[in-house]
Structure 1
Amino acid sequence: MKKGIAVLSTAVLTAGIAAGCGDNTTKSGTNKSAANNPFNISMALMQVGDTPNKGNEIEQAIEKYTNTKLDIQWIPQSAFDDKVNVMIAANEMPKIMKLNYVPTTISAIQSGLFWEIGPLLKNYKNLSVQNPQYYENISVEGKIYGIPNFRDIGRAGIVYRKDWFDSMGLKLPTTIDEWYNVLRAQTLNDPDKNGKADTYGTVLFKKYNEGTQPVLTRIAVSQGAPNRWGVENGKFTPEFMTKPYYDVMRMFRKLYEEKLINQDFAVFDDTEAIKLMDAGKVGMKLNGVFNNGKSYQDKLVKAVTTGEYDVAPFTGPQGIRLAGEPGNFGFLAIPKSSVKTEDELKKVLAFLDKLMDPEMSTLQLRGIEGKHYKKVDGDKTVFTDLTAYQREVKPYRDNLVNIEGFNVAEQKDTPLGEKGTRMTRDNIQYAIPNPALTLTSATVSERGKELDQLIWDAQTRYIMGKIDDAGWQAEIDQWLKSGGADVIKEYEAAYAKAGKK
């Protein structure tokens, strides 16, 4: 990270235009070369919240700095994929198109409707220095067709009651036995010292094994399990058929049997679990992220004035191992129907690259100095009008190209808040990727949710003691017969086709 990062101001923007675009005037100053005319860029982006007014000051600032004229179509999130499908089917698309990584999108890419940009990325100073995993996570058959709307990959963190750990002499767990003992102690040993049996080490909830932060996966990965899928010598194995994953599931079965976790977890909503944390009744949140620490601390002290949360990475016998997340909120692709030449393609990529310059990163992530944020403590920033930022700037931040921590000054925060931000950025190095994330499977497209639900239901029944080890194996066999075996074969074929080893 460069020190002394520039922050946005009118003067800086003006300097950026002059330096970045070149004012090729004659001596009289009355004529500019055609090369300096703004480059027209049309975009289709996702509307979340209010639609920004056309020609607003954020849009104007982007246009001035990048020497472009923007034409943005904002598509409501609820109708986004359907609208994109219509545009793709008609082959009537703008120069930049936000896409989600879904089967219809992948099919369009495979049909040759979008430019492959992977070989060109090395020519762009900002795009080329991002972690390759970001691009790998949106690749299609091993090739890159877009720029991610970057999101954190290594953010999987434990949010825990540091005051409980300190007063009880507990250490963060690294083995299954340690996990059991720590969760047991926080449930039985009255960590809040009120003489009542009203605490839990952790609570599960009805979607504990779904989404991007499944509890069992996170702990299992720390113990050496794969992230969703494992691959060795081209052969795929689902996580739930590995010993580390089974060991985690068996631990939760024991916790349930001994009433050391909430008995109603199968119907318990995560929002209710959060309420218990806010009330100071839960020791560890296992589906959280590093940046959760500050917000949970702010809420905890309202109920427990001496309560203290902290954050830590999932760690096992091999050290820190995190279940890596997709790392994007969709991606920006460039259609061949609207960008017809490689020269024009390079201009579009240059625009996207400039969006990660310090001036544009600051604009997207902080807004306008004096209106949305101010500088404090030297080179740190603090929001002065977060409501205005979220209304006026956040739509661009969410849809364009930026990464918190890259070419933008740090935000001043509480020590726990700054720790969470730092760990989120630094721990990408410990993130274990899901090797099947970008692989195609006809069976998954047709019956993936059905197969997932079969396993999720079986896991819950196993933890609740409704099936034994033989019953669990029978559920795995049923999963294989119902299409799981086909998924494995299709993933292996897709993996080989992408040239991976």
Structure 2
Amino acid sequence: MKKKINVIIGVTLFSVSVLSGCSGSGGSEAAGQELSEDKPYPLTLVVNQVGEIPAKGNEIEQAIMKYTNTQLDIQWIPTSAYDEKINVMIASGELPKLMKLGYNPTTIASLKSDLFWEIGPYLKDYKNLSAQNPQFYNNINVQGKIYGVPLFRELGRSTLHYRKDWFDSFGLKPMKTLDDWYIVVKALVKNDPDKNGKDDTYGILLDKKYNQEAFSTFTRISVSQGGPNKWQVDAEGNFTPDFMTEPYYNVMKLFKRLYEEKLINQDFPVVDSTEMDKLYDSGRAGFRYSGGNAQSWHDKITKVIPGAVIDVAPVEGPGGRRLPGENGNAGFLAIPKATVKTEAEMKRILKFIDQLMDPEMATLLVKGVEGRHWKDAGEFTEVIDRDAEAKEVKPYRDTLPQRGEQYNIAKPSKQPELFRKGTQIGKENEQYIVTNPALNLDSTMYYERGKELEVQITDAQTKFIMGQIDEDGWKQAVEQWKKAGGEQIMKEYKESYLSSKK
């Protein structure tokens, strides 16, 4: 039965790549020396890379170390290779003191195997970690236990970012129906919106993770059209995966048509998100669903195309606003028992995480360094150098614990109208989200084979879109998924769900 978690956690995260030195940094023999208040506590972190890798010893890193009395060794791992690195680390036992994990079958199995510290009982002792909404932690619990501090994200972040100048030139409006989707994409590909006489534009660009996670482009479209968020449950407790529903299949047919007519990038199954971002920033595409802020796209693209106009709109479908509720985190921080062997050292790491949410550190992570990245402007603070902020502050803001300007930030930032508009839509989104009813349910089959089964069905989906299998081939793939363990997952989710209702 799912348990309500009354204590709350802060946020942060890090992870480590496969380095021979990681596992040797936290043995019990050295714990006493490392915990001495007379010298900085050595803490190796590995985080997923956001933008460019910050220079070693930069102002932000130095400020963090001084405030928390730590000696940080941060390593930045490309996002595209991150999950694979984590899996190898767990399998090999080459673990850091603090690592960012994702809420997926591989890590859930490792948590159930007692490889990481259960931190839930300790959170009440930390003022910032115990001051956050319990829902964030309920979303990462494993059999009622908390093993990490979530890297907070809003529960409904999805918005539509689009080239308003392109849309206006063809009399287009933000899409609601799948017919709208086809019309908009075709217009932005075929009608030369950048007026350069070349066939080099797209409506939307997809990357290789287009159909994974609740924040994926495909899930956002499917939910907007009335589909479930990953799983659907009926009154009797029967569970059905999203890909077995009509709205999902209709979106697949749309993408198949777009691919056949060369209206989406033909290399989408192998393109990394960073390469896709470069094409957006260079002015090659017209819109995207995003959990980020449209102002960031505007700032980048107007350097290349001064006349570009970016706008933001809610995610809507035929029935109005509807979007998938997300997990409320971008992973979570966990403390391995193999590396951190004592309760005292585990508490020292929790202290570090808690300190990162103090007012001074929260302001640093959200805004950067006063005098370089921002200045006091009376009622607001004002950004001094937006480029420097994006390059130097964002990597830490996206990979360390903070709640934006909602927690421990004295003054809001003065922001452009586009940024404020996107933020307002994001705040409103929470009342329109569709939750995943299976998020915290127990399924042995899912823990054991969930990732493998997900890859099996997403690969089949890609083959359908690319025309390598037809409708019958898709139906066969679904039946194979069910026989390989999918049907058992459906059964176990039902049992867990009904048990939680007792």
TM-score of the two chains, using structure 2 as the length reference: 0.71
Letter of the 2:314 partner, please give it.
P
Partner residue, 2:331: 329
Find the aligned partners of 2:488 and 2:111 in 1 and give their Cα distance: 24
Unaligned runs of 5+ in 2: 1-35, 48-52
State whether residues 313 and 322 of structure 1, in contact with CA within 8 Å, keep that contact through their aligned partners in structure 2.
Answer: no
Letter of the 1:339 partner, please give it.
E
**For this pair of structures, how many residues does the alignment match?**
446
Match of 2:342 among 315, 338, 343: 338
Find the aligned partners of 2:301 and 2:45 in 1 and give their Cα distance: 35
**SS at structure 1 position matched to 2:159:** strand
Partner residue, 1:4: none
Task: Say whether residues 1:230 and 2:232 are aligned partners.
Answer: yes
Task: Say whether residues 1:150 and 2:152 are aligned partners.
Answer: yes
Q: Give 1 or 2 for the bigger CA radius of gyration.
A: 1
Match of 1:221 among 198, 220, 223: 223
Match of 2:471 among 463, 469, 472: 469
Q: Residues 252-267 of structure 1 correspond to what in structure 2 (within 5 A)?
A: 252-263=255-266, 265-266=268-269
Find the aligned partners of 2:386 and 2:359 in 1 and give their Cα distance: 21
1:121-162 CA deviation, whole Å, 9 max, x = no partner?
5x9775556444321221112343443222344222222111
1:251-308 CA deviation, whole Å, 9 max, x = no partner?
222333444434554555655544543453422224x3342x2333234334543221
Task: Say whether residues 1:363 and 2:367 are aligned partners.
Answer: no
Letter of the 1:479 partner, please give it.
W
RMSD: 4.4
Q: Residues 249-398 of structure 1 correspond to what in structure 2 (within 5 A)?
A: 249-263=252-266, 265-266=268-269, 270=273, 273-286=276-289, 288-291=290-293, 293-326=294-327, 327-331=329-333, 338-339=342-343, 355-370=356-371, 373-376=374-377, 378-382=379-383
Letter of the 1:136 partner, please give it.
N
Evaluate the alpha carbon distance shift between residue 438 and residue 110 of structure 1 in structure 2; reply closer, same or farther with a 3 A threshold.
farther
Q: Residues 414-493 of structure 1 correspond to what in structure 2 (within 5 A)?
A: 414-424=416-426, 427-493=429-495
State whether residues 367 and 389 of structure 1, in contact with CA within 8 Å, keep that contact through their aligned partners in structure 2.
Answer: no
Letter of the 1:187 partner, please give it.
V
Evaluate the alpha carbon distance shift between residue 457 and residue 84 of structure 1 in structure 2; reply closer, same or farther with a 3 A threshold.
closer
Q: Which moved more, 1:215-224 or 1:307-316?
A: 307-316
Find the aligned partners of 1:297 and 1:388 in 2 and give their Cα distance: 15
Find the aligned partners of 1:266 and 1:181 in 2 and give their Cα distance: 23
State whether residues 185 and 202 of structure 2, in contact with CA within 8 Å, keep that contact through their aligned partners in structure 1.
Answer: yes
Evaluate the alpha carbon distance shift between residue 43 and residue 75 of structure 1 in structure 2; reply closer, same or farther with a 3 A threshold.
farther
1:64-100 CA deviation, whole Å, 9 max, x = no partner?
xxxxxx57676776776666778899xxx97xx5552
**SS at structure 1 position matched to 2:343:** coil
1:8-40 CA deviation, whole Å, 9 max, x = no partner?
xxxxxxxxxxxxxxxxxxxxxxxxxxxxx9899
Letter of the 1:46 partner, please give it.
L
Partner residue, 1:22: none
**SS at structure 1 position matched to 2:360:** helix
Evaluate the alpha carbon distance shift between residue 438 and residue 328 of structure 1 in structure 2; reply closer, same or farther with a 3 A threshold.
farther
Find the aligned partners of 2:441 and 2:383 in 1 and give their Cα distance: 41
State whether residues 173 and 179 of structure 1, in contact with CA within 8 Å, keep that contact through their aligned partners in structure 2.
Answer: yes
Evaluate the alpha carbon distance shift between residue 237 and residue 142 of structure 1 in structure 2; reply closer, same or farther with a 3 A threshold.
farther
**SS at structure 1 position matched to 2:161:** strand
Letter of the 1:365 partner, please give it.
V
State whether residues 161 and 307 of structure 1, in contact with CA within 8 Å, keep that contact through their aligned partners in structure 2.
Answer: yes
Partner residue, 1:239: 242
Find the aligned partners of 1:451 and 1:177 in 2 and give their Cα distance: 31
Find the aligned partners of 1:179 and 1:155 in 2 and give their Cα distance: 21
Q: Percent identity?
A: 43
Letter of the 2:320 partner, please give it.
G
Task: Say whether residues 1:59 and 2:65 are aligned partners.
Answer: yes
Letter of the 2:45 partner, please give it.
M
Q: Residues 8-27 of structure 1 correspond to what in structure 2 (within 5 A)?
A: none
Letter of the 2:332 partner, please give it.
G
| Structure 1 residue 246 displacement after superposition | 0.9
Find the aligned partners of 2:361 and 2:492 in 1 and give their Cα distance: 42
| Structure 1 residue 403 displacement after superposition | 1.1
Evaluate the alpha carbon distance shift between residue 389 and residue 372 of structure 1 in structure 2; reply closer, same or farther with a 3 A threshold.
farther
Find the aligned partners of 1:271 and 1:384 in 2 and give their Cα distance: 23
| Structure 1 residue 476 displacement after superposition | 0.8
| Structure 1 residue 475 displacement after superposition | 1.5
TM-score of the two chains, using structure 1 as the length reference: 0.71
Find the aligned partners of 1:386 and 1:303 in 2 and give their Cα distance: 14
Evaluate the alpha carbon distance shift between residue 321 and residue 196 of structure 1 in structure 2; reply closer, same or farther with a 3 A threshold.
same
Find the aligned partners of 1:360 and 1:268 in 2 and give their Cα distance: 36
Find the aligned partners of 2:457 and 2:308 in 1 and give their Cα distance: 38
Partner residue, 2:31: none
State whether residues 374 and 383 of structure 2, in contact with CA within 8 Å, keep that contact through their aligned partners in structure 1.
Answer: yes
**SS at structure 2 position matched to 1:405:** helix
Q: Which moved more, 1:437-446 or 1:76-85?
A: 76-85
